[in-house]
Amino acid sequence: MVASKKNVAQPAGSDSKSQPPPSFTREQDLHALREMLLIRRFEEKAGQLYGMGAIGGFCHLYIGQEAIVVGMQMALGEGDQVITGYRDHGHMLACGMDAKGVMAELTGRRGGYSRGKGGSMHMFSKEKHFYGGHGIVGAQVSLGTGLAFANRYRGNDRVSLTYFGDGAANQGQVYESFNMAQLWKLPVVYIIENNRYAMGTSVARSSAQIDFSRRGVSFDIPGEQIDGMDVRAVKAAGDKAVKWCREGNGPYILEMQTYRYRGHSMSDPAKYRTREEVDKVRHDQDPIEQVRNRLLAAKVSEDELKKIDAKVRETINTAADFAQNDPEPDASELYTDIYR
């Protein structure tokens, strides 16, 4: 995964092709570490609970991709919005949603964000400006563009971060959205999380143009390929793209080159890639290890890092306990919050 860029209609001063990402302060690295660990430990626990039968239905883990949502969130301001597909636990935690509420939704309990009726793919938080959680591949792209349209219409300066996968990038409504977003100069950053697979289909087998940063070429939407395993590169790209949108220049595309360590969902035969491929990315590019190593090199002690991990584990264990002990929704909830 080389962070090469083939840009179109680049904004001025954007040629950072061979430059290393700007460094983080120690505080930024510590923050990124905490946030990424929170997501990883949450997902590991969700995987365990699923194995125990405490979680039913679909469940898609985000392990390996943590640097993307954490880096992008560091580039946002209050009121900016986030929308994504079904691999959404990391996005919610990065937005500041409570791990207890997310975990309890996975287990179908009352205290879940959708009162236990939405499950893994369908949670929302108006307070944290998180608009879901969508199971239909690509559907969130037109909705995210709609959020940007509303911002433009209301004349505020909010930006919509619209996340989708390499597989979703081949859906038709994505290009209808691109057209309208550029036509009306809508403030939306399209973040394509290229984790190299859509279920069991590799990008090479499914995509005529595998440089996703170029998917906006015919609409004149600028795009960049970013090393999505390096939280500093993500944050720097996020800063630039969000600024571009906030200043009224229209949409921006960021292709985040990343990798998912686990299967597509909880049932995945894993026959489409080798164990060695997964191990190599984990070993060479893990987003959390990168930050840990930087912090150790900056003389942050192993002990301090262990304390951070212990605190994160405590948060996750509390969330898991809550999610297993909170009552299920009352039967009368079957008839609330639904279209009839």
Ligand X SMILES: Cc1ncc(C[n+]2csc(CCOP(=O)(O)OP(=O)(O)O)c2C)c(N)n1
> Which option in ligand X, Mg ion, none does residue 238 bind, with CB closer than 5 to 8 A by kind?
none
What DSSP string runs through 62-122? -TT-HHHHHHHHTT--TT-EEE--S--HHHHHHTT--HHHHHHHHTT-TTSTTTTSS-TT-
Q: Judged by CB under 6 A, does residue 166 bind ligand X? A: yes
Shortest distance in whole angstroms from residue 65 CB to ligand X: 8
Residue from 165, 187, 228, 329 touching Mg ion (CB under 5 A): that is 165
Q: Judged by CB under 5 A, does residue 198 bind Mg ion? A: yes
Shortest distance in whole angstroms from residue 73 CB to ligand X: 18
> Which option in Mg ion, ligand X, none does residue 232 bind, with CB closer than 5 to 8 A by kind?
none
Shortest distance in whole angstroms from residue 197 CB to Mg ion: 5
Task: Give the 3-state secondary structure of residue 298.
Answer: coil
Contact 323, 103 (CB under 8 A): yes
Residue 223: its H or E element? strand 223-227
Q: Judged by CB under 5 A, does residue 88 bind Mg ion? A: no
Residue showing tokens 């087998």 = 205
87-126: which residues touch ligand X (CB under 6 A)? 87
Say which DSSP state 59 is in.
Answer: -
Nearest to 65 by CA among 190, 194, 178: 194
Instruction: State the Cα–Cα distance between residues 191 and 206, nearest whole angstrom.
Output: 19
Size of the site for ligand X (CB under 6 A): 14
Residue from 162, 195, 285, 290 touching Mg ion (CB under 5 A): that is 195
Residue from 149, 197, 212, 219 touching ligand X (CB under 6 A): that is 197
Instruction: State the Cα–Cα distance between residues 125 and 114, nearest whole angstrom.
Output: 9
Q: Judged by CB under 5 A, does residue 55 bind Mg ion? A: no
Rule CB under 5 A: which residues touch Mg ion?
A: 165-166, 195, 198
Binding site residues, ligand X, CB under 6 A: 87, 135-137, 165-168, 193, 195, 197-199, 264
